[in-house]
Amino acid sequence: MFTKEELLVIEDALKIADEKYIKLLDESKNNKNKMVAFNRKQKKLWLVQNKLNKLLQENK
């Protein structure tokens, strides 16, 4: 499937995306619609991060 190095690169990319969504959420505190949209995207990102963590644990 994926090598451990590839999974670690994906993990770093997801961390960068997570930081971006946190920043966007902070910037859009006054706009509820944008906050909801970014929050939904961030929740999907967290699901992917959890799955990736599972894969990393299995690859040890």
Position 32 scores a pLDDT of 92
Encode pLDDT of 29-39 as tens digits. 999 999 999 99
**Residue 55: how many other CB atoms lie within 10 Å:** 15
1 DSSP assignment = -
DSSP annotation string for 19-39: HHHHHHHHHTTT-HHHHHHHH
Q: What pLDDT shows up at residue 2?
A: 84
Res. 13 pLDDT band, cuts 50 70 90: very high
The residue among 39, 19, 20 whose CA lies nearest residue 29 is 39
Over the stretch 16-59, which tens digit does the pLDDT of each residue have? 999 999 999 999 999 999 999 999 999 999 999 999 999 989 88
Please tell me the predicted confidence (pLDDT) of residue 54. Answer: 93
* Distances in whole angstroms, Cα of residue 53 to Cα of each of 21, 24, 25, 60: 19, 24, 24, 11
